[in-house]
Amino acid sequence: MVLFSTYFLMDTEEIKAYAQKNISFMKNAQNLEATEIGDGNLNYVFRVKDLDSKKSVIVKQAGHSARISEDIKLSTDRIRIETRALQLSYERTPHLVPKIYLFDEVMSCCAMEDLGEFTIMRAALMKQQIFPNFAEHISTYMAENLLPTSDVVMEHKEKKNLVGSFINPELCEISEDLVFTEPYFNQNNRNEILIENAQFVQEQLYDNEQLKLEVAKLKYLFLTKTQSLLHGDLHTGSIFVTEKETKVIDPEFAFYGPIGYDIGNVIANLTFAWINGLFTNSIEFTQWIEDTIQKTVDLFQLKFKDVWKREARELFATNSEDFMNHYLQDIINDTAGMAGLEINRRIVGLAKVIDITGLKNDERVKAEKLCILIANRLIIERNQFKTGNDFVRILQEYKEDFK
């Protein structure tokens, strides 16, 4: 009998035994089925289903290296971070994240609610599906979860303790390398660039000293700005959707960083869907994306101010509307810059997105150039961004040239 008292990487048979032992509603199950359904880069994800009661659970286990590469060695502490981050989000926004059932430090796994009827948003966007409530949901998720973990709301010593418990050096290092450094230096020789765009990338990224100065400033924000507890990897592969609901998953990259990093990731990944829609002539879809980008930024700002007015405790924050506006404007500027960085890294770095790689080669060549042009403007002009419309305008400016 397997005791699960020392760590090992579980297979589907062992996962069934694990669920039977540890999940209360599976204790007497005789007819369990387990499938490995993970498609991420790092972990193993199993769905365990009781074929009699029809109840199911998701068990996520971390290995000692990344799933995509044995060379990327990672602490299994990422599962503790993910579990805790989901639990904190569940306290504030239970309708927007899955419920955690258990965390097992020995086996480096957690068990959570099965979101069986949901689809990964990136896959749905590739089919040009529209989610009318997405901006409403994601802006609530961000406003309700980001500001309350900042110094604006939290007692400063408590906040520092929380910063400490979310120190996530290895996963941050992945982002520091893949998002902030390799796209501009290729120092690890891991960038993957279409031959047709090699010269363009050389000029626009590697040799672009004006851009690299701005990227350096943003990298140092990521390294040092312990503003709020972030999701840390809020792309459309970390979001589950149905027509009516949205659930944010996978906060294993959670750490204390600049709020604009999360919002920027959302905007960047919506931009990839927009570009896919542009090249596949999906007019209704691209219009919905434009509308969603605008609403996400504008609704975030409205909801952020509501949370601030309701929950701010720090004295300057409760006494000065000017300070609130300054703080929010700074977030929007970071958002633009971070969106640009996420776009560039998904084009030249090793972790790409199907929205762009799934295009026909000649379209992909053009789409990648378009991405880099948009990204560089987001980075360089970030301090001019104020409203959702500013993010949409930049897309519209390129629309005609690239159709």
* Residue 250 interacts with Mg ion (CB under 5 A): yes or no: yes
Q: Which stretch binds Mg ion (CB under 5 A): 33-41, 63-71, 177-185, 356-364?
A: 33-41
Q: Which stretch binds Mg ion (CB under 5 A): 39-47, 101-109, 186-194, 320-328?
A: 39-47
Report the partner that residue 241 touches, choosing among ligand SR1, Mg ion, none (CB closer than 5 to 8 A by kind). Answer: none
Q: Which position among 12, 41, 87, 329 is part of the footprint of ligand SR1 (CB under 6 A)?
A: 41
Site size for Mg ion (CB under 5 A)? 2
Task: Provide the minimum distance between the beta carbon of 45 and Mg ion in the complex, in angstroms, as a whole number.
Answer: 10
Whichever of 253 and 385 has its CB closer to Mg ion, that residue is 253
Residue 378 burial class via C-beta count within 10 angstroms: exposed 0-12, middle 13-18, buried 19 and up: buried
Report the partner that residue 148 touches, choosing among Mg ion, ligand SR1, none (CB closer than 5 to 8 A by kind). Answer: none
* Residue 251 interacts with Mg ion (CB under 5 A): yes or no: no
Task: Provide the minimum distance between the beta carbon of 341 and ligand SR1 in the complex, in angstroms, as a whole number.
Answer: 11
Report the partner that residue 178 touches, choosing among ligand SR1, Mg ion, none (CB closer than 5 to 8 A by kind). Answer: ligand SR1
Q: Which two tokens stand for residue 99?
A: 């419920």
Q: Which position among 102, 163, 351, 354 is part of the footprint of ligand SR1 (CB under 6 A)?
A: 351
* Residue 354 interacts with ligand SR1 (CB under 6 A): yes or no: no
Whichever of 214 and 250 has its CB closer to Mg ion, that residue is 250
Q: Which stretch binds ligand SR1 (CB under 6 A): 66-74, 159-167, 325-333, 366-374?
A: 66-74
Q: Which position among 66, 147, 241, 394 is part of the footprint of ligand SR1 (CB under 6 A)?
A: 66
Helix residue ranges, H only, 74-133: 77-92, 121-126
Q: Of residues 142-161, which lie at the interface with Mg ion (CB under 5 A)?
A: none
Report the partner that residue 249 touches, choosing among ligand SR1, Mg ion, none (CB closer than 5 to 8 A by kind). Answer: none
- SS3 state at 212: helix
Beta bridge partners of 109: 61, 104
* Residue 342 interacts with Mg ion (CB under 5 A): yes or no: no
b/e code 211-238 from CB counts within 10 Å (16+ = b) = bbebbeebbebbeebbbbbbbbbbbbbb
In the block, tokens 């419920």 appear at 99
Task: Provide the minimum distance between the beta carbon of 121 and Mg ion in the complex, in angstroms, as a whole number.
Answer: 13
> Whole-angstrom Cα distance, residue 180 to residue 87?
29
Residues 6+ apart with CB under 8 A from 355: 122, 125, 126, 269, 272, 273, 275, 276
b/e code 75-93 from CB counts within 10 Å (16+ = b) = ebbbbbbbbbbbebbbebb
| Cβ 25 vs Cβ 126: under 8 Å | no
Q: What is the largest CA-CA distance in the chain?
A: 65
Whichever of 295 and 352 has its CB closer to ligand SR1, that residue is 352
Q: For 60, list phi and psi in degrees, rounded to 5.
A: -115, 125
| Cβ 183 vs Cβ 376: under 8 Å | no
Site size for ligand SR1 (CB under 6 A)? 10
Instruction: Find the residue with minimal CB distance to Mg ion.
Output: 250
Amino acid at 312: A
Task: Provide the minimum distance between the beta carbon of 346 and ligand SR1 in the complex, in angstroms, as a whole number.
Answer: 9
Q: Of residues 174-193, which lie at the interface with ligand SR1 (CB under 6 A)?
A: 174-175, 178
Interface pattern 69-88 for ligand SR1 (x via CB under 6 A): ---x----------------
| Cβ 269 vs Cβ 122: under 8 Å | yes
Neighbours of 177 (CB within 10 A): 18
Residues interacting with ligand SR1, by CB under 6 A? 41-42, 66, 68, 72, 174-175, 178, 233, 351
Residues interacting with Mg ion, by CB under 5 A? 40, 250
